[in-house]
């Protein structure tokens, strides 16, 4: 955890002092900081390491296993085995008893043939390891999009606040003119109240916009691993070249070529590649389930170092070494359908994996199509919104001049102010929608 915090600080070039000061933060720095601090991505990396360790575990099962054991046993005392002969007055002890038994054993076992279970299991684990690696790529792409969404969400909220603040300034200037006309007896008190009401409404909008910006800031801070009270200065604008993704120009050129985009997505999306490896893994699982139809053959050898060693007659209270070597073969003649059931389970899992990939493929096609259409509409909205702002600014300028000349009403100026506010907010929304649409299409294409 300490390393993550250090990485975030280095990436963002944050000073250790002046907590209240805004920290400059570009889009690239936000993404890098988030990737370094994300616990979700760390969990995905640990999942990949787990599958890699599983591969090593299964591969080790195909190699000879060596085991060492030892023990001590104290036996109850019993009379020794004796033989009495007529010509001998005393019994002859055939085998003395030793009540302290020590044993050491070194064993080696090697599976020779397991019905392809070990081979299929090892290959299946490798497929799952590749699948986990692609899942990490998918999680990384989704996280990058989440950071971009939070970054541009904060940019949009702050721009809304700035636009509303500018609107308040304009309404304030107009209110001065209205009060001046009222003092001259050219306007009624109701016109002054109407302008003041419009100013109050704009102040309320600014309060809401400021709150939205603060909420968006905490969301971004949380996502990239910064303290929630950290204020940042966004240095990447929606109009800057760095905010425009490489996919943007290509997508605009190929807006009508939905087939090409879909083919690109189906070839590049990591979750589809991951699903393909899971299908291969389950296919190998079917092969492993068939192992019960084959005999199981293994080679085993042991070396015993015992005191006393029962293979020596008569028994001696000394350590003696002996060994054995053998091949074992086993075959299930009847197990009440267990092998068949395992095969049916494996086939069902294979069908599920294929269906899951088909669902992901359909989802990818839908996402690419929707993202393509959204990007096309966003580009068009940027153009129209830019024209609307120019028109609204000119309309406000002309209306104010006419008001000062006494040929336009107070309501006309207030309406023009509202129209300009709406046009500027629409332009901001359109610019943010465009960069988000490009980011969404890039993610949909698996890039």
Q: Give per-residue pLDDT as tens, 360-382.
A: 999 999 999 898 889 989 999 99
Per DSSP (E only), the strands in 58-210 are: 65-74, 81-83, 92-95, 100-113
Residues 143 and 443 sit within 8 Å (Cβ to Cβ) = no
Average pLDDT over residues 50-73: 93
* Residue in 252, 260, 304, 279 with CA at minimum distance from that of residue 438: 252
Q: Is 363 exposed, middle or buried (0-12, 13-18, 19+ CB in 10 A)?
A: middle
Question: To the nearest whole percent, how much of the chain has pLDDT over 70?
Answer: 91
DSSP 93: E
Q: Could you give the CA distance from residue 245 to residue 226 in angstroms, rounded to a whole number?
A: 25
Instruction: Supply the pTM of this predicted model.
Output: 0.81
Rounded to an integer, what distance in angstroms lies between the CA atom of residue 97 and that of residue 82?
Answer: 11
Please state, in angstroms and rounded to a whole number, the distance separating the CA atoms of residues 443 and 428: 23
List, for residues 140-167, the tens digit of each pLDDT value. 999 999 999 999 999 999 999 999 999 9
Confidence check: pLDDT of 87 > 80? no
Domain with residues 19-63+114-295+337-444, CATH architecture: Up-down Bundle (1.20)
What pLDDT score does 241 carry? Answer: 52
Q: In the chain, which residues fall in CATH 1.20.1600.10?
A: 19-63+114-295+337-444
Q: How far apart are CA 62 and CA 60, in angstroms?
A: 5
* Predicted confidence (pLDDT) at residue 252 exceeds the cutoff of 60: no
Residue 285 phi, psi (nearest 5): -65, -35
Give me the DSSP letters along 46-67.
HHHHHHHHHHHHHHHTTS-EEE
Looking at residue 347, its pLDDT comes to 94
């Amino acid at each position: 955890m300490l390393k993550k915090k250090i990485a975030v600080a280095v990436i963002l070039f944050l000073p250790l002092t002046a907590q209240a000061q805004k920290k400059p933060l570009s889009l690239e720095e936000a993404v890098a900081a988030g990737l370094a601090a994300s616990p979700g991505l760390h969990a995905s990396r640990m999942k990949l390491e787990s599958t890699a360790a599983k591969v090593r575990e299964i591969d080790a099962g195909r190699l000879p296993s060596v085991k060492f054991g030892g023990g001590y046993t104290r036996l109850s005392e019993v009379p020794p085995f004796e033989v009495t002969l007529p010509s001998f007055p005393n019994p002859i002890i055939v085998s003395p008893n030793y009540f302290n038994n020590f044993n050491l054993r070194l064993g080696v076992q090697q599976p020779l043939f397991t019905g392809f279970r070990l081979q299929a299991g090892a290959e299946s684990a490798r497929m799952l390891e590749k699948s986990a690696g692609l899942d990490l790529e998918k999680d990384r792409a989704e996280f990058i999009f989440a950071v971009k969404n939070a970054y541009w969400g904060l940019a949009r909220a702050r721009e809304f606040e700035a636009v509303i603040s500018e609107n308040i300034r304009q309404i304030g200037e107009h209110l001065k003119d209205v009060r001046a006309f009222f003092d001259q007896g050219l306007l009624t008190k109701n016109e002054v109240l109407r302008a003041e009401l419009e100013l109050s409404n704009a102040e309320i909008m600014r309060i809401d916009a400021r709150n939205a910006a603060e909420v968006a800031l905490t969301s971004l801070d949380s996502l990239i691993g910064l303290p929630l009270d950290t204020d940042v200065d966004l240095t990447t604008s929606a109009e800057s070249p760095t905010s425009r993704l490489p996919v943007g120009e290509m997508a605009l050129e190929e807006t009508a070529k939905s087939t090409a985009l879909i083919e690109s997505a189906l070839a590049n999306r990591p979750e589809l590649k991951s699903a393909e490896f899971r299908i291969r893994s389950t296919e190998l699982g079917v092969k492993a389930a068939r192992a019960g139809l084959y005999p199981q053959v293994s080679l085993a050898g042991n070396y015993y170092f015992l005191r006393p060693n029962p293979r020596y007659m008569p028994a001696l209270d000394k350590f003696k070494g002996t060994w054995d070597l053998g091949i074992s073969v086993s075959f299930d003649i009847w197990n009440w359908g267990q092998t068949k059931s395992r095969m049916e389970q494996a086939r069902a899992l294979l069908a599920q994996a294929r269906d899951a990939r088909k669902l992901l493929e359909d989802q990818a096609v839908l996402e690419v199509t929707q993202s393509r259409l959204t990007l096309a509409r966003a580009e068009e909205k940027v153009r129209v919104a830019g024209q609307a702002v120019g028109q609204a600014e000119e309309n406000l300028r002309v209306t104010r001049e006419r008001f000062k000349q006494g040929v336009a009403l107070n309501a006309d100026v207030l309406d023009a102010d509202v129209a300009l506010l709406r046009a500027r907010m629409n332009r901001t929304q359109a610019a943010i929608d465009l960069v988000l649409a490009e980011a969404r299409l890039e993610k949909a294409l698996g890039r």
